[in-house]
Amino acid sequence: MSEKIRLALVGCGGMAGAHLEAYGEIKRKGLDFFDIVGVCDPAEDRAREFARRIAGFQASPAATVYSSLEEMLSKERLHAVDTGSPHHLHHVIACTCLEAGLDVLVEKPLGVTVRAGWKMVRTAERTGRILATAEQVRRWIGPRTVAWAIRHGELSGRPRFFLAHSCHGPKEPQVEVEVKSPTWRQDKLQGGGGMIIDGGVHYADFLITCYGEPDTLFATCGNFNRSYVTRPDGSRLLLDCPDTAIGHLRFKNGVAGTWVWTGASPGRPTSFTVHYGDEGSVYAEGGYPMMPEFHRRDRSVLPAEDLRRQYLASLSEDERARLFPPQLFPDPQSLRGDHGVELEVHDFLCCVRDRRRPEVDGLDGLKAQAVSEAYLESSYLNRSVSVEEVLSGKVRAYQEEIDGRWGL
């Protein structure tokens, strides 16, 4: 592509703001092969605020503000769209843009259900456009180091099993939690199923990078906080999306583990991940493994900085340039915090420019989502499910109501 990529942002909410910052950083680092020419949100004041922020790092052209996607597509000459909307609109916005001949980056989870995800994947295949899932967690240097340490047999030996526990909150003093201002996230039909879909897909995607194809899952999900909203008549409506997901997940390579994710663990929070192999374990504090260390059989410890150094030294020049482009991050050893969004939007821009496959395409996003959906389906059906039967759509009892609502 010889001209600059003409990009639009559709949905100007919280996460789109992080994307906006990342595009600004990329420009500030001198990579000026794209312009954000349009911003679109039915809440026009948000789109206007985005246009103002864009002007801070892109002197011209100014991004035009739209409150309707259709109007933007009819007036604006575009190559690509980056969209972060409520989940039930992902397939609507993405398919409209793909049909209009644009490449699309969609925030995770790919769709509000598996059927919504397939609709997007098939539309991308038919139109020949790029569909990428915005997935930053696997791109952080911590998770990349863990995945390498697990796969690097000389260090950790044959993988055995894993534990991933992220247990926080609640902070409210009362046992039953009133949600005073519910958003689309608390609505099963718009959000798709709460935190296991919303944040869980990050972890599912990361586990896939560690162990390959998932096999079967048995899970219990629940609304342990008994969160509710108060109806206008004063009665309580219990929220139908879980705050807790407890699952036993087995991969096709035979490795199994428990993955627990909850916002309903009163008292002491516990948050860690550990992956055991024949020769030791890769351990990290926190919900995501940002600073993993390696514990050998003899109990000696390879500290996080050293493990990271070994990982980086193991990369070929090409791998290093692909995973941590030096124009963005000349010193990956020093990386902290969220550099994943910058990497993910940079990857998308390069795919649009070079006509190559994104690291996490639509189908990859859908495969990770199928693991999260399998949690909900297994709990709903009270039996183990295979991730394949969820991905194929054979099992969709929990999702059926959502599919029905959106005509999927």
Ligand X SMILES: NC(=O)c1ccc[n+]([C@@H]2O[C@H](COP(=O)([O-])OP(=O)(O)OC[C@H]3O[C@@H](n4cnc5c(N)ncnc54)[C@H](O)[C@@H]3O)[C@@H](O)[C@H]2O)c1
**Which residues in this chain contact ligand X in the complex, by CB under 6 A?**
10-16, 40-43, 46, 69, 84-87, 89, 93, 107-108, 136, 198
CA distance 196 to 351: 29
CA distance 349 to 5: 8
Tell me how far, at minimum, the Cβ of 36 lies from ligand X, in Å. 15
Burial 180-194 (b: 16+ CB within 10 A, else e): eeeeebbbbbbbbbb
CA distances from 385 to 72, 110, 382 (A): 43, 21, 9
Tell me how far, at minimum, the Cβ of 12 lies from ligand X, in Å. 5
**107 versus 364: smaller Cβ distance to ligand X:** 107
**18 versus 62: smaller Cβ distance to ligand X:** 18
* Residue listed under structure tokens 């663990």: 265
CA distance 64 to 78: 12
Pairing of strands 34-40, 64-66: parallel
**58 versus 85: smaller Cβ distance to ligand X:** 85
Please, where are the H alpha helices in 289-339? 304-314, 317-323
**73 versus 349: smaller Cβ distance to ligand X:** 73
Tell me how far, at minimum, the Cβ of 152 lies from ligand X, in Å. 27
Contact 18, 338 (CB under 8 A): yes
**127 versus 372: smaller Cβ distance to ligand X:** 372
Tell me how far, at minimum, the Cβ of 86 lies from ligand X, in Å. 6
Tell me how far, at minimum, the Cβ of 43 lies from ligand X, in Å. 4
Tell me how far, at minimum, the Cβ of 65 lies from ligand X, in Å. 12
Point out the residue whose Cβ comes nearest to ligand X: 13
- What crossing angle do the helices spanning 200-211 and 141-151 adopt, rounded to 10°? 30
**108 versus 308: smaller Cβ distance to ligand X:** 108
